Structures are given as structure tokens and as C-alpha cells.
Structure 1
Amino acid sequence: MTDDSAAFRDSRLSFDERVDDLLERLTTSEKIALLHQFTPAFPHLGISAFRTGQEALHGVAWMGPATVFPQAVGLGATWHPELLREVGTAVGTEVRAMRARDSRVGLNVWSPTVNLLRDPRWGRNEEGYAEDPRLTAALATAYSGGLRGDHPVYWRTAPLLKHWLAHNNETDRSVTSSSVRARVLHEYELPAFRGPVVAGTVIGVMPAYNLVNGRPNHVGSHLRDHLRAWTDAELVVCSDAAAPSNLVDEEHYFDTHEESHAAALRAGVDSFTDHDQDSSKTIARLTTALEAGLIETADIDRAARRLLLMRLRLGEFDPDVDPYAGIGVDQIDTPHHQALAQRAAEEAVVLLKNDAALPLDSGRMRRLAVVGPLADEVKLDWYSGDLIRRCSPLEGLRERLGAGTVVHAEGADRILLQAVDGGRWLTVAPETPDRSGEDSAALNPAHVSGTTELPPVTLSDVPSELDLLDWGGGVVTLRAVANRHYLSVGDDDLLRADKEQPGGWVVQETFHLEPVSTEGGNSGAHRLFHLGSGRYVSADPATGALRVFSRDAETAEHFMVLPVSEGASAVADAARDADAVLVVVGNDPHINGRETEDRADVELPAQQRRLVEAARAANPRTILAMTSSYPYAVPDLHEELPALLWSAHGGQAAGHALARVLLGEVSPAGRLPQTWYRSTGDLPDLLDYDIIGAGATYQYFTGPVLYPFGHGLSYTSFGYTDLRVERSETTVTAEFTVTNTGERPGDEVAQLYIRALDPRVPRPRRELRGHWRGHLRPGESQRVSLAFPVTELGHWDVAHGRWTVDPGSYEILVGRSSEAIELRSVVTVTGAAPQPRPALSDGIEACAFDECDGIVLADRDKQRGDVVACDGEHPGRLLFRDCDLTPAPRTVTFEVARESAGAASVELRSGETPIATATVPSTGDRYTWTRVSVPVAIPAGTHDLRLILCGSLRLNRVDFSATG
């Protein structure tokens, strides 16, 4: 029997008082149970079960039908915080509505993703907003603000930011370390998170799988040193799935799970997402850690307190006064949400090039060819909800122009597969699987598997035609013409044509067609390699059923690939007599770039390129629409085609949106949220997180680009005039006038950048500091005012470990993109010149370098502190500018650690002159530090110091002494 008079149920008391009361009523074991993602009910207190984690990146995911908005990168392309707040409000409302129907729906939503789109090859590019931290922060604050709601006490949902910190690679994501120097950390990585946290629109963060500077994010000190220092609010930190176990099982950072869980809890992780719904392992590990003295009850109470405060904010214990408690299922896919999804998709379309080919004249359009593999598709991604309604580009254009006006050719190559041994054909049963009774809602579809009753694909005397679609990198899908379903592999390893679309955590619908080589060259035959299982397709000798059997190529069935029809020919036929041709290409978000898989390059798949070229050869009035989760390198197509557009996968209304833009019903105003490079060769290594040293993103890349950050064209024109910049003690304000100088109404996105003139350290070519999106009628003007703190003229001063604004001149740039600058002004900051680095008095932290080469940042120990490490294959080099060595030092001391034996040394130079060399002994362990002192010969004064590290070693500090 519960006590309804308990203080924790008294809404008149403060949340802190109520949590204090509740914690006193819980046993230690019950508090520990709170720390798993799936928290049990406590019937004696009348408390229900609870789970952290509900995916809501661009609509409610994994819980059944919902309004599907454009992908996050598409929302980023709108550059429209007010719109994102509306979308967040709609998504948060649908979370509540689904919760009313299904108690499995969680109110702690794991969204938005604020990882910066530093490299377009990142598999999860679709999940982020932009490559710029302040644009990302502005959009994330808006979206999470909508999810949270405006009530001063209760939250609609509790948004949680993903993924803390420096996470931009899927390749070996659980074991790779992001080497992040101090300037990149403070100037680039942290601001994206700081904005929403300081604004109070999020409940907390989810640490990423990767390590940062050699230490796993889940035990990193940045959670304490930065995240929790930004606000007095009690933030919640939820681990990523299986990450607590990864600390031992994959990263081998700790020897036992008890140690790792204790370290994560002490570092600030509150909720452990591990072993799916089975909380027993997490409870046992934390219990043992407590008994062993690795953690204290205060650590458990602290985490439990944060989680209970979140539940209070969500109104769980106050249903009578919770303003969101009455939201019901009638709030799913409302007319308002449908219109908002279409508006978001329209605002996300980016016009990349237009030589008067657009908009299309619907009144004169006799025949429009709409071709390509995505012409009649509405692709979803891993974090999409189920579509209630859909509109493809083909459907959107036929709705407006009439079915008789619009012709279609997908462009798939149609083939037959014939077994070399015996001459039998791959055969597909024509039946379509019945999924009418399936429940699509799953807490995590990664854990859902199964097979259908559809007969397997076999070898027989009856051939079945297949549509082959190439997604790049040799990855293809095979779709049966007989039932329009993709070949897939089930739990029984049999091939069936039973999937409407590729998908799932492990995609079972992708293959390689591997040429079979002989001594004389290519035999013409192919093996069918199934990517999901990593095995080859072979036939059962008795039944002829095809299954994935072995990883050994020698056991694979050999097939001749016999063409039936060529997709490029069909596209050319459709294009030849058309008034205009629209080629729609792009990616399937489940293939060649998604969670767990990075892209190898930024090239358009070969088959898709052939379709564009065939359309262009047949009809010069060819328009390219790229619908993708990331940029492509298409400089040749930019030169050849009269018009190009890009949009992310636009959700349920993508086709309506694209059609309205193409026909001029909407003037495009999307802007690129990341740089489009001319080739893969323009990109640094995927794992190089040092954007300064690597010259990455629009801030530091100095080469020519295909389309710059912020680029996007319109059907009208805009003029910029009368820039006035004022600087107060705390704020820089730029005012200017934007005028629609064209003949159509439209939105403009004005962008404000800064640039340091004559900086003493490398500074970005451009840094976004504000933007405005507004609608203007022809001839209408708008006075725009954009302001930012004076401190944002500055940078992280590594010499003194603080943010600083150097005296000097700073250019204020206003324009239509990071390169299309229309107005300029200069502001001046006065003050004392920066002091030299106090090298003699304070020493030098090795990680506080100005420039580096051949080193990575690593962990000083398992708790906190960064050091530099050299792998021994190549010398490591460090530069420390303007080091004050007055009076002249006589000795220099290096604090070093070295696990291996062999020769290693540290050489100190003044400029290029060697002044000291120390031999580094083995200390037996990377965390065992020793100090090596040697004489140094250098006059008193300010010097640029260089360090040359030879051999495998780690360096923590350099200290000087004026005495011998």
C-alpha cells in the first residue's frame, strides 16, 4: 500500500526537497537499480518502471507510425532556428502522444546530435546539423527547446545531447582515440554542446564510444571540468549502448567491469545503457564495486538524485498538474504536423547551381522525364519513424503536372543470374510476404530479427529477372522483378526476396558481385558475396535453395551475369524528347554510410553517374537533384549541367517539397551546412581531428571547393547595403539592410563572419558569428541586427590556459555564404600585448603546444590530464612560441614515461639550435612517470622553443631551473 501523503508527492515542495525525501525511502540496492537504463517499478512507493532513451532525431523513432521530418542534416540546411523549435515541439508532442498509448515510449529523448560535420565521410553525417559549432549550437538549442517545452517547471520531454565528445568516425569507433588539442577542444568541439546546456534546453549528454586523448569518454574528466561547470542544473549523463562493458571488453582500459563501472560513475555517468533490458549485470557490478570500496554510497546517491530530478521535471509524480499529461494519440500526424513536415522539407532544399533552367514552367511543360534510382523513393534512415504517408519526387510532380505529362525510368540494370555449374537460373517465388500483423515498434530494432514464410530463392530451370542497383564501392542490391522485393538473408541463412527496403542494424540486403579470376584473366563469372554475414552464396545440392554458407571463396557458387536491359538506355529513352529531365540520385541511408560504417570517399556511385551522363547526352536540359545524407564531389557535373540541387532525405513530404521548388511555387533558400569538396583527395585522414593542423572545414581549408559552407541560390536576388558595426565593452553589433531586388518573393539567409587580421597564431579564414533567415517580398527591405560577445573575437590561449582576445583588428564580414561576402567592416580591440609564456616560473605543459607534427595526445593517467605521445616510428615535433626564460635557466627537466625498452630521447631547441638533449629511460609502464634533468645552454630572454621526440615515449611537462 502506497503513502500518497509522502513528501516526494507534494508538488508544493521544491524538487530538491522531494528528491531528498524519496532517496531516504529507497534502499541502497533500489538506488543502484535506478542507475540502469531500464529502471524497475517500486510498488511499495507507487513508482512505475522507467527507461532512459527514446530516439527522436527527426521524429519519433522505433515506436511505430509517426510524422517523419527531414533528416537532421536537412534541418541543418534550413539555417532556421525558429523552424527547428516548431519541429522539436511537434516531435516532443508526438513522444507524449505515443506515451499515452504505449508505456514503453520514454520521455527522456536522446536527441539532438550535435557532433560537428567535420568530415563528410562520417557514416552518421545525416545525424548532425553542421560543420560549424555555433550554427550547430543555435539549431540544437532551438530543437531541444521545442522538445523541452516552455513551462517553467515541467518538461514536455527531457532532451539529451549526443555524443560527447569529438566523435566523427564509425571505423573502430569503440577503440579509436580522437587526438584533440586544447584549441580545437575549446574553439570547435565544446561550443556545440555548451550552447544548449547554458540555455537550459537539455537534461544532459550521452558520452560517445570513442576515447579522447587516450581516455574513454565515459570516464573522461571533461564531464566534470567543462560540462558540469557550465550550469548549476543537475545534468544527467546516460551512457551509450554497451559502452560501459566496452571499457573492459573492447578498449581493455580496465581489467574488471567493477573497476570500469566505478570509474564511469565517479566521472559522472548516471545511467548505464548496457545489456539491453537486462539490468542484472550492471546492478551486480556496481554492487560489487560498492562492497570493494571502489565507490561510495554518495556516488550512487548523486547519480540517483539526478535521475529522479529528471523524472520530477517530467511530471511523473504530478499527473494532476503536469501541463503535458493530457496529450493523447490524436496529436500524432496532425494536419499542423503534416504541414510543418512539408515546410521543413521545402526550406531544406538547396539550389547549388542554376543557369536559368529553373524554375520549370508548368504551363508549357508537355513532357517531363523524372529518372534515377531515387525518383520514386522516400528513403528512411536508422533513426526514422514509420511513415504514415509519403510522397516521392515522381509522385509530387505527377500530382502537379498530371500523370500523362511525367514519364519515369528508374535506371536499374535488369539482369539474370545463371549458375555456371549445371546452367540453372536463380529463381524467385512470385509471392509477396504478408506483414499485415507485424508490430514495427521496437525499443531498439537492432535486437529484432526473424524470417518470413516466403519460400527461399533457388536454382531452377525458370529464370527470374533482377533489378541491380549500385550504391557505390562495389555494393549492390538485387530486387526481384516478380514481387518488387529485395533479396535478403534471414536467421536461417537462406536467401529470400522478402524485403521492401534495405534496412536493419545489420543490413541483410547488400552484396558484392566478385569477378572470378582464372589464369587467363577474368572468367566472366561472379561470386555473390553477402556483406551482412561476410559469407558467399552457394546452392544446396539437394533442394537448390541458395544460402550463405562459407567465408571461403572456393565454396561459392559461380554465376554468369546476363544483361536483360540497361538502365542508362531506359533513362536516355525517357529523356530524349522531354522538355526537361530531372535525374534524382543519392544514397540509401542504410548503405555505405550510416551508424557503424563510414564512407570510403565522396564520389557519386558509378551507375548513378552513368545515368546522369546518359540523360545529359540525350537531352541538354537535364537537372540533377541529389537526395543524400552527405555531400558528393561532382565538379564535372557542375560544369556540364544547367542546374543542380541538393536536399537531405526529406521525410514524408519530400516529394511535395521538391516539386514545389522545381515549379517555382517556393523559392529555394536552403544553405549548405557543410563544405562540398571537389574530391576525396582534399580531405585529411578521417581520424585527424585537428582541424587547425589538417586545414579542415571552411574555417581552415585553403583550397578551391565545389560549394562553400553557407552556399545556396534563390529564384530572386538580394542586395546588401549600409553595414554599421558598433563595439561596446561586451558586445559587437552589426546592422545592415537586406533588400529583395528581384521579381519573386523569397527567403534570404544573411550570414555574419569574423576574421582576425594579422593574428599572432593561426586563426580561421572565416568564423560564423550570426545569421538571419527572413522572408522578403519583391522590393521589400529588412534592417537586420546581429550581435555577438566581444569575447567571440578571441581564441584559446594555450600559453596561459585561458580564453583571450588579442589586441588588434578584426574584420566583420556579411554575405550570402562563407565566400560570397557583400559587406565588410573592421573593429579594433585595444589593450596590452599578450605576455610571453611563463616557461621559467610555471614550466610548460607538453599538451599546451602551439604547433605539432608526428605526435598524438594521450592520457596522463586514467583519471585526468593530457600528455603528448610519440610512436617511435617517426620523430615527434612540438613548437612553443614566446617562452619567457628570464633569468637564464641552467637545467631543464622532462617528465616522461616509457613502457618499452630501447633508445629514446627528447631534444630541446631554441629556434633550430639544439640546446639540450635527454635520454629517456624505460619506466615500465605508460603511467609511471620519471623526471630527467640535463644542463641547458640558453641566454635569458624570450624564445621559440622546439622539442624533438625520438623513440616511443610520452611527455608530460618541461620545467626549467635557474640553479645548477
Structure 2
Amino acid sequence: MNIFRPTVIMSVLLVMGGVAVFKAHAFPSTPDDRTQAVALVAKMTLAEKISQTQSSAPAIPRLGVAAYDWWSEGLHGIARNGYATVFPQAIGLAASWNPNLLDRVGTTVSTEARAKFNAAGAGHDHVRYDGLTIWSPNINIFRDPRWGRGQETYGEDPYLTGQLAVSFIHGIQGDDPDHPRAIATPKHLVVHSGPESGRHGFDVAVSPYDFEATYTPAFRAAITEGHADSVMCAYNALHGTPVCADAALLTTLLRHDWGFKGYIVSDCDAVDDMTKFHHFKPDNAQSSAAAIQAGTDLDCGNAYADLLEAVHKGYVKESIIDAALTRLFAARYKLGEWGTNGSDSYARIGLDRVDSPAHRQLALQAALESMVLLKNAHGTLPFRDGMHLAVIGPNADTLETLEANYHGTARAPITPLQGLRQRFGAQRISYAQGSPIADGVPVPIPETALRTTAHAGLLGQYFDNLDFNGTPRLTRTDRVIDFDWDHVAPADNMRADRYAVRWSGELIPPGPGDYTLAIHVDRCFDCAGHDPVRLYIDGRKVIDNDGDDKPMQATLHIADMHPRAIRLELIHSGQDQGVRLQWLAPAQAQLAEAKAVAQRADAVVAFVGLSPDVEGEELKIDAPGFHGGDRTDIALPVAQQKVLEQIAASGKPLVVVLMSGSAVALNWAQAHADAILAAWYPGEMGGLAVAQTLAGDYNPGGRLPVTFYRATDELPPFVSYAMQGRTYRYFSGTPLYPFGYGLSYTHFAYSQPQLSSVELQAGASLTVSATVRNDGDRSGDEVVQVYLDAPDSALAPRHTLVGFRRVHLAAAETRRVSFELAPRQLSTVDVSGHRNVDAGHYRLFVGGGQPGDSEGVAATFVITGHEALPH
């Protein structure tokens, strides 16, 4: 076997619609990772081999193999492993429409992963979330706003998703494919986007057209352009075959047609699901055999333990297991898991790089670029200095709406309330929570309802023991009890795995009525035992939980507004991840409080939307408008709608800031609010980004990566994966806000469209350009978008995004922006799922949004001939 092989070094070219595409150059290198992997696997016993096909791979001391858990997350920052830079949720990153930003975010994610990996040391055991195999990005198509995990994606468009994925993957893996900084794992291949309640066993009968036109292009780009070294297969089945056992998908399409050379990992327990929910095989021995023969190399879970039985019964050959293990160990060698004799520049990455000042600045930049201005009547924004602002709404001051899901722990998060105080001055900001996220969904008790002596909040006493004995290690006032302490200590000089905290002070009810008090603890899902918590009101224990999974709530009737003594105790000795002291307060009391705050202000900023408590992965929630992590209604929840209407009655200018992971039908706000800003789940610096945008320190330039529909009944059935009637490409109605939409504090104009040719032979590339001018009096970012209109056919989308570029223009600056469109961008898909460049008359639109929704210019051209393109 030749132990020399080409090494691919990446260089960046600005082509393909202005996004980063990486071109390969070959140079020789040694040693060969696959050669080493083959030799190592040959020394293993069958039992040892099978142990290494499961994600929590144990050590093999006799062979010098350290234990390695393949499961690490890095969707928008290294997740679930202590402090990390927490960037905006993926849907917010997509709203930037900036591949270069995604590359820098990916680089930060893998740099911090390396820092944590290095802290354990090369050649040592690495536990879950501590490795270099990062199960991100999620590039499923966000086909329906009801899907709770859509927030993890880059939106509804295959091309935008694919190009952002290419850049994020490059950032994760770095420039040297023979020694990546980390390995990216685009997921979940393929046709997987809810509903969450049936995700473990649903079967999709997707049409060949939709499969090729919508569901696979982003994955193809991630492999053929992004060169991802890993892929995760999905839970669902396609036409009766579970994806993780689909050889036509994993071997023929992925490995043969797309040239994928890496390893495939199952979604967690997907192989077990093949037995339990798909009923594909009668037992895990046969399901495991089917999966590994189809190409699934690694099982997230332990179903592959039954491969031992599968080999003995003849369901699978040991050579198939050897081939899978060779791919897995080749990846571990590429990552330099056992060290590289001091020549590894990554080995010098230390923990000082985690959430460093430079990374925090990038988090702020990412949050700023994600802001999408949806309405700005009468020039309401930006606010002028010296204004008194009323800050109202359930999302104004919560940690969870900064961090979203699949997140790390933010070291110094800035909520919108804190950001506005920092920017405008605390004396000019008044605050009222106003409402919960939705009826029956508790939110953190706000600072306005907690008091200790002369300060807002509760007195926290932090002990380095579990029985509150002796003098506290730390005493401080905590403004709210809303903490993420996943793998971190609550204070310096304390252990992360052993402490107790007692908070005490007064609860100040805003009015009489029934109050539901609640304690929320993010439970570790695979550990033994949970953190005990106790809550006392006026010395009476109202919640006493010794660590089980029962709801931790108590309802009290309060007849007056006298302060009540409150005490909360938490004992932490396991792997639970923090604590929130929450409530459901009487609606009328909160509305009255919001109305009074609005009356005293010059303008009102209402922070409304959703939260990771109501939209997310397989959640245990069943509230009006929500089910299992998905939504049943895309409207703003009723409780929040009422508070908007109440504060609008004050007559003060009303600015609505939407914080969510998906589109919300803000019909009332569009009709009555003066301005609307979409801020998504904006990460650790999100509150400061919102404040700087509202103040005009930053001119918003983000664009929507999804369509905002007006009502749920405009959508096809959620369970249907047919694309007709979905997304900007196939929706025939009038959306509330279209895909690609976003306003600015300045104005951009387009002129002088040019094509490299008005008649094109099928299979050739085409260059299109236009002049863009900033006509306003302040600098800003424009996202130049290119849409193709193909000849009419029954299947043709309304428009297809084929190029985009985010450009910064000073006031009165003019720039010519060019896009080179490859044959694939000029292609269409036929009813049989074949992609072709076909003869006919075509139209290109270059502008700040879709044709008909924005300013722009158009040009037409003709394609002659026919060119079939590979899948």
C-alpha cells in the first residue's frame, strides 16, 4: 500500500455568487492516516472492534488507544462543556447572509474545541463534549415555521443553506485537510424537519423532484465544496427504508456520486429506532447489521453492541466492521489525537482562547449582522439620545433567549435590558415584564419583584459544601435567579461539581391574585440523580424536590401587595446545569404594571416572541399553540398580544423586538407598531447588539432567511414533505415578510445590469453584474441578491436564489458587484429528479430582495442546447 498521498490545502476564491469556495491544490504528505488505521484495527479482537463502533468508545490500554467520546456539539459555539463564546443561534447567523462571518464563527468554535481538548491532553481520555468531532452544522431545510428545531438551521433556501454550510465547515476544519482543527458533521441526512413528536419513526415518501430540488443540494455542497469529513444520518425513513440503513443514499449517492471519503454517524439512538419504531428489523443485531452494511460507521448509542451477535449469526461480515473502523480511526489520526511530536500548531491553543476578548467582539459583530429591520414607520428608529425608554416584555431580560439551544455557557451575557441600560443610561430605562411567553409557561421572576434590603434581587450565599455549614465562600446580591452553570462553578474559587446556594429576600407581588411559583433546573439527561431544591415563602416550604423529574411548582393566592419572605435553596452534587426561579403572575397585575411604565416613557420597546422553553427538540410541553417542541399556531401567543395592545394604548411610539428561532405572524404589530426588529436568539452579546441597533450606532443589514407567513392556515399540512405551497419558491400567497427581506437606515439603488452573454450554450457559466449605490446619508450593509426565473413549467419555483453578497457602502458610495454563475446555478430539475441545464428564455434579477419585493434590475438571456448534471 502506498503510504504517500496527496494533501489538499485550501485557498479562497470569490466566485459562485460571491461566496467563499475552496479550491484544492495537491502536495505530498506522510504518514498515511488510513494505513495507520488499518494496522491498528488489525490488532483488535472482534469485541474490541465492536466497542469502537459506538460513540462512547472505551480505551484499549494494550494498544495505547485512549477512550474517546465522539459526541461534541458546536452549532453556534462549543456546547455543553462549560464556558464558551455563545454566538447567535444558527438561524440568526443565517440572517447575516455573510459566509465570511460563518467561516470566522466556525474557526472560533473549533479553536475553543481545541483549547478544551488540549486541556485534557493528546493521548488522554476525552469524555463527551470534550472532543474534536463536532456534530454541526444542522443544514436541514426549514420547510415549515412550526418545526421547533428550525432555529438550528440556516433557513428555507437550499442555496443559501449550502453556501453558509460550506463556510462554516471550512471554519471548523481549517485549511489543512490532512490535519483539521476539528471535524464538522453536517446533519441530518436527509429530508428531516419535523414534526418532533413522530421523529423517531416517520417515513417520508418525498417526490424525486423535491428530493433533488430542495432536500439534497445543501448536503451536496457541504461535501463537494465544503469537504466535510463526517455526516450524520437522520432518524426518519425514506420510502420505507430508515436513512441510516439506506445504502442507495449513504453509499451510492454520498460516497460514490459525491465523493465523500469520511465517516457517517447515526443520529442518537437512530439504529435502536430502526427496531423499536420503524419495525425495520426484529432486533438490534439485524438493525445494526443493516446500518453498518449501508455505510453507517458509528452508532450514537449502544445498539451496535449487538454487532457481536450479528457477526456470529452471519448477518454481517467482520470485514464490514473493519472498513467502518478504518474510517473512524483514520479520522482520529488526522485530528492528531495521539500527538504529533511537537509539530502541531493546534497544540499551543490554550484555555485563554475560550471566550477571549476577540471572540466576544466577534459574537457582538455576529449579533449585529443578524439584526433584521422589518418596519420603520416615520423614521422612528434610530432612537435619539436622552429619550426615556420603557422596556417591556417576557424576553427583555432572560438568559435562555440569548443562549437558545445546543449552547455553551456564556461567561458574561448581556440581556436586552442590560444592553439598553448600558447604552442609554440606567436612569433612562424603566422595565416591566408584562406577560409570560405563553399561557401556562413560567418565566423567570423579574428583578422588579425581588428585593433584598435596598437592592433589587435576592441575597445569595454560596457554600463550598452540601449542607450550608460554616461561612459562605461568597455572598452577593443576584438581580434575578436565572443561571446557566453547565460544567462551571457559580463563582470563582468554587468547585463546579459540589456546592450549595441559598437565596433569600422578599417577593414583591405587582398585584393581588393567584401566583404559580416554579423552579426550573436543566436536568442532565443521562446521569444518576439530580440536584435537590427547596423553596420557602414566609418560612413555609412550598416546593421540596429531592432530585426527581416531577414538576416543581406551587400555586399561592396573594390577596395584597405586601412583601413576602422568600428563600430558595439549591444543592448541587451532580451534572445538572443551573437554576431558574420562575413564576406565572396574574395577567391583570402584569398588564397594569406594563401600562404604568409605558405612560412614563417617551417610547416603548417591547421584547416579545418565543423561547427555547416552547420551541426546540422534543420538548415536554403542551401549552396553547405549542406541542412537543413544535408550534401548532404561528401567531404571537395571546398573552403577549394582549400586552402589546395594552401598551400601544398609551399612544407612545412602539418598537417591537422579536426574539425567536422562527417566523412569527406579527400581523397586529405590522399594522400598529411604529418599528419592528427581528433579533432572533442573539447570543451572549445580543443585548448590546440590540441596543446599538436601536440607537443607530449600527445600521441593520440582516435579511430574512425564512418567509414570514400571515397565518397557520396558509400552510400545507405539517406532516407533508411536499414543497408545493412552502417557502418563497413555491408559496403563491402574499407573505407578511418575504424571504430575503430587510430594511436599513439608509437607501440603496441599483442600475446598469450587465451579462457576459445574452445567449449561452448549456453547460457554460454566466457572469452577471450591477451597480449598487448608497443613496442615503449614513453608511450601511446591503445584501445584494440574485434570483433566476426559469421558463415556466408545472414544477418551476417562482424564483430561485443563485447568488448573494453582503457589501458595506459608505454614504453616496457606488460599487459594481459581479457574480459568476456556474451551470448548477442555472439548472432546473425535472419530474424524475434529474438536474439539467435546458434551453429556453431566462431572467435574472439583481436587487436587495426578491423580484417585486425590492429595488433591483433585471436582465434576460437565452440558453441553447441541453446539459445533464450529476446528482
2:623 — aligned with what? none
1:26 — aligned with what? 44
- Partner Cα distance (2:279, 2:155) in 1: 33
> 1:571 and 2:594 equivalent?
yes
Quote how far apart the aligned CAs of 1:317 are.
3.5
Q: Is the 8 A contact 1:433 1:452 kept in 2?
A: no
> 1:409 and 2:432 equivalent?
yes
CA pair 563-358 structure 1, distance change in 2 beyond 3 A:
closer
- Partner Cα distance (2:396, 2:460) in 1: 23
Post-superposition CA distance 1:514-538 (Å, at most 9, x none): xxxxxxxxxx99xxxxxxxxxxxxx
2:703 — aligned with what? 671
1:838 — aligned with what? none
Q: What letter matches 1:648 in structure 2?
A: W
Structure possessing the higher relative contact order (Cα contacts under 8 Å, 6 or more residues apart): 2
Structure-to-structure mapping, 1:560-709, within 5 angstroms = 563=586, 566-596=589-619, 597-692=629-724, 695-709=725-739
Post-superposition CA distance 1:647-678 (Å, at most 9, x none): 11111100110011000000000100000000
Which stretches in structure 2 are left out of the alignment for 5+ residues?
Answer: 6-27, 121-125, 441-451, 453-457, 467-483, 489-496, 537-546, 559-583, 620-628
Q: Residue 38 of structure 1: which of 45, 50, 56 is its match?
A: 56
1:326 — aligned with what? 348
Post-superposition CA distance 1:108-165 (Å, at most 9, x none): 0000000111001101011001100110011111111111011242100011011111
Quote how far apart the aligned CAs of 1:361 are.
3.8
> 1:737 and 2:767 equivalent?
no
Q: Residue 273 of structure 1: which of 283, 290, 300 is its match?
A: 300
Q: What letter matches 2:280 in structure 1?
A: Y
> 1:188 and 2:214 equivalent?
yes
Q: Is the 8 A contact 1:137 1:193 kept in 2?
A: yes
1:382 — aligned with what? 405
Which SS does the other structure have where 1:407 is aligned? strand
Post-superposition CA distance 1:20-53 (Å, at most 9, x none): 3223333333222221111122222322111212
> 1:173 and 2:173 equivalent?
no
- Partner Cα distance (1:671, 1:384) in 2: 23
Q: Is the 8 A contact 2:465 2:500 kept in 1?
A: no
> 1:302 and 2:323 equivalent?
yes
1:314 — aligned with what? 335
- Partner Cα distance (1:328, 1:492) in 2: 32
1:53 — aligned with what? 71
Quote how far apart the aligned CAs of 1:378 are.
3.0
Quote how far apart the aligned CAs of 1:231 are.
4.1
Quote how far apart the aligned CAs of 1:779 are.
1.2
Which SS does the other structure have where 2:678 is aligned? strand
Post-superposition CA distance 1:547-586 (Å, at most 9, x none): xxxxxxxxxxxxxx99596212111111113221101112
Which SS does the other structure have where 1:67 is aligned? coil
Which SS does the other structure have where 1:620 is aligned? coil
Q: Is the 8 A contact 1:581 1:619 kept in 2?
A: no
CA pair 18-708 structure 1, distance change in 2 beyond 3 A:
same
- Partner Cα distance (1:223, 1:147) in 2: 23
Question: Which of 657-666 and 786-795 deviates more?
Answer: 786-795
> 1:113 and 2:138 equivalent?
yes
- Partner Cα distance (1:451, 1:157) in 2: 32
Which SS does the other structure have where 1:164 is aligned? coil
Q: Residue 384 of structure 2: which of 362, 371, 384 is its match?
A: 362
Q: Is the 8 A contact 1:351 1:645 kept in 2?
A: yes
Q: Is the 8 A contact 1:159 1:203 kept in 2?
A: yes
Q: Is the 8 A contact 1:375 1:394 kept in 2?
A: yes
Quote how far apart the aligned CAs of 1:754 are.
0.6
1:151 — aligned with what? 176
Q: What letter matches 1:252 in structure 2?
A: H
Q: What letter matches 2:699 in structure 1?
A: S
2:231 — aligned with what? 205
Q: Is the 8 A contact 2:709 2:735 kept in 1?
A: yes
> 1:219 and 2:245 equivalent?
yes
Identity %: 34
Which SS does the other structure have where 2:198 is aligned? coil
- Partner Cα distance (2:818, 2:60) in 1: 54
Post-superposition CA distance 1:579-618 (Å, at most 9, x none): 2110111222122444442111111111111111111111
Structure-to-structure mapping, 1:436-835, within 5 angstroms = 440-441=485-486, 478-479=516-517, 496-497=534-535, 563=586, 566-596=589-619, 597-692=629-724, 695-727=725-757, 729=761, 730-759=764-793, 761-799=794-832, 802-818=834-850, 819-831=853-865
Which stretches in structure 1 are left out of the alignment for 5+ residues?
Answer: 1-6, 276-280, 418-428, 444-449, 458-462, 469-475, 499-504, 514-523, 526-560, 835-964
Q: What letter matches 1:178 in structure 2?
A: V
Question: Which of 777-786 and 353-362 deviates more?
Answer: 353-362
> 1:161 and 2:183 equivalent?
no
Q: Residue 92 of structure 1: which of 106, 110, 126 is its match?
A: 110
- Partner Cα distance (1:121, 1:160) in 2: 25
- Partner Cα distance (1:570, 1:208) in 2: 47
Post-superposition CA distance 1:622-657 (Å, at most 9, x none): 110011111111112101111001111111100110
- Partner Cα distance (2:821, 2:298) in 1: 36
TM-score for both structures, normalised by structure 2 = 0.78
Q: Is the 8 A contact 1:750 1:773 kept in 2?
A: yes
- Partner Cα distance (1:506, 1:230) in 2: 50
CA pair 192-32 structure 1, distance change in 2 beyond 3 A:
same
Q: Residue 340 of structure 1: which of 362, 382, 387 is its match?
A: 362
Post-superposition CA distance 1:692-725 (Å, at most 9, x none): 3xx1110000101100000000001111111112
- Partner Cα distance (1:385, 1:562) in 2: 30
- Partner Cα distance (1:732, 1:752) in 2: 12
CA pair 255-467 structure 1, distance change in 2 beyond 3 A:
farther
Which SS does the other structure have where 1:226 is aligned? helix
Root-mean-square deviation over aligned CA pairs: 3.7
Which SS does the other structure have where 2:751 is aligned? strand
CA pair 576-584 structure 1, distance change in 2 beyond 3 A:
same
Which SS does the other structure have where 1:411 is aligned? coil
Which SS does the other structure have where 2:649 is aligned? helix
1:242 — aligned with what? 269
Quote how far apart the aligned CAs of 1:487 are.
9.3
- Partner Cα distance (1:765, 1:625) in 2: 30
- Partner Cα distance (1:795, 1:624) in 2: 40
Quote how far apart the aligned CAs of 1:795 are.
2.6
Q: Is the 8 A contact 2:769 2:817 kept in 1?
A: yes
1:264 — aligned with what? 291
Quote how far apart the aligned CAs of 1:267 are.
0.8
Post-superposition CA distance 1:391-430 (Å, at most 9, x none): 111111111211111111111489xx9xxxxxxxxxxx99
Q: Is the 8 A contact 2:464 2:499 kept in 1?
A: no
Aligned residues: 736
Q: Is the 8 A contact 1:479 1:497 kept in 2?
A: no
1:890 — aligned with what? none
Q: Is the 8 A contact 2:602 2:652 kept in 1?
A: no
Quote how far apart the aligned CAs of 1:782 are.
1.5
2:156 — aligned with what? 131
Which SS does the other structure have where 2:275 is aligned? helix
- Partner Cα distance (1:224, 1:79) in 2: 32
Q: Is the 8 A contact 1:669 1:747 kept in 2?
A: yes
Question: Which of 702-711 and 227-236 deviates more?
Answer: 227-236
TM-score for both structures, normalised by structure 1 = 0.71
> 1:395 and 2:418 equivalent?
yes
Which SS does the other structure have where 2:630 is aligned? coil
CA pair 145-24 structure 1, distance change in 2 beyond 3 A:
same
